[in-house]
Chains A and B, each alone.
Chain A
Amino acid sequence: MAKFKKKSNTSQEIPTASLPDIIFMLLFFFMVTTVLRETTINVEQRIPAATELRKLQRKSLVSYLYLGKPKQGQWGTQPKIQANDVFIETKDIVLWVTQEKDKLSEVERDQITIALKIDKEVKMGLVSDVQLELREVNARKILYTTAQDMDY
């Protein structure tokens, strides 16, 4: 039995020298995968969930419109449209899309996708007004940004 009681000479401590390496690896992963938010969103954004999601292939072709109730009271309580950093009216969408299209190269202009980030509570009237304007400027590819629904 004494055989088993033999004391090993190896140290009991776990070497922590490689810990920074692991943390750095995680750090780089997050640095690479995440994008710093460029715009401050001034409207409420409770994005609805859906199951049949499609992924956008080319992010460079995407422009974002945010619809929702303004977060600050000074802008009123009615849902508003936010593009980039400012609130715009429905009639300004035509100009905005044209500006967004100008940022793309000649061949890609017709492939522009408008991602609509719309709050749950927004009424369809406003959404439809936006869509009509988008049709008007021939930006017909749209994407209703939604979250993944876990219920199904």
Chain B
Amino acid sequence: MRTKRGTPEINGAPMADIAFLLLIFFLVTTTIANDKGLSLLLPPKPDEENKSEIKIKEHNMFKILINSADRLLVEGEPLDDPRKIRQMVTDHVMNYGKNPKMSDSPKDAVISFKADRGTTYELYIKVLNNVQGAYYDMYAARAGVTNKQWRDIASDLGDPENKRIYTIARKDFPMAISIAEPSKIGGS
């Protein structure tokens, strides 16, 4: 007969250390994937059929130009701070014919955005961010939600409720941002 021993106990204190080690390993080796950014739908490939010129009235266009030295030209005037574009776009789109130099209605308004081949990507993103932001603000106001909520709604159109709100807010209110091919003058 064996002698009766006490139940063998394993010391559990170093377990925390092992867990810490693993935790630190995962903290260091992994990066939280960021799949966020500015979404954009490129225009369709130009084909022979719909090559017909679409006439847009001069005053409906809001022109943004950037040259190779990262200087902005907005509606014919030089501009330093790209953040100002946000308010200018809103004024232009929500004009409803009050100012003859601005758009007739949101439906007609077009934002024309043209960069140079030598423009840095950073400035391009800043400008695009402000133009899209202005539109998101306007859509959010129409849908009665905040800007952040609107962006979440627009990102998840699988939900029928989201789709409903989205359709109502976007009715006769297109986000007409026309990004022209960069000019080659003063290229990189």
Contacts and interface: CB of A to CB of B under 8 A. Distances in A.
Contact of A53 (B30, B33, B37, B188): B37
Contacts of A119: 121
Contacts of A122: 120-121
Contacts of A98: none
A17 B14 CA distance: 10
A65 B8 CA distance: 57
Contact of B155 (A36, A37, A54): A54
B22 to A, nearest CB: 5
B100 interface: no
Interface string A116-145: 001111111111100110111010111111
Given A30-B27, A33-B32, A144-B125, A124 B182 contact: yes
Nearest to B151: A54
A31 B20 contact: no
B56 interface: no
Contacts of B39: 54, 141-143
B107 interface: no
A135 B36 contact: no
- Helix, strand, loop or mixed for chain A's interface? mixed
Q: How large is the interface on A (under 10, 10 to 19, 20 to 34, 35 or more residues)?
A: 35 or more
A123 B118 contact: yes
Interface residues of B, number: 54
A76 interface: no
B166 interface: no
Given A20-B19, A55-B35, A56-B36, A50 B125 contact: yes
Contacts of A55: 35-36, 151-152, 155
B36 A148 contact: yes
Contact of B43 (A48, A67, A135): A135
A35 B30 contact: yes
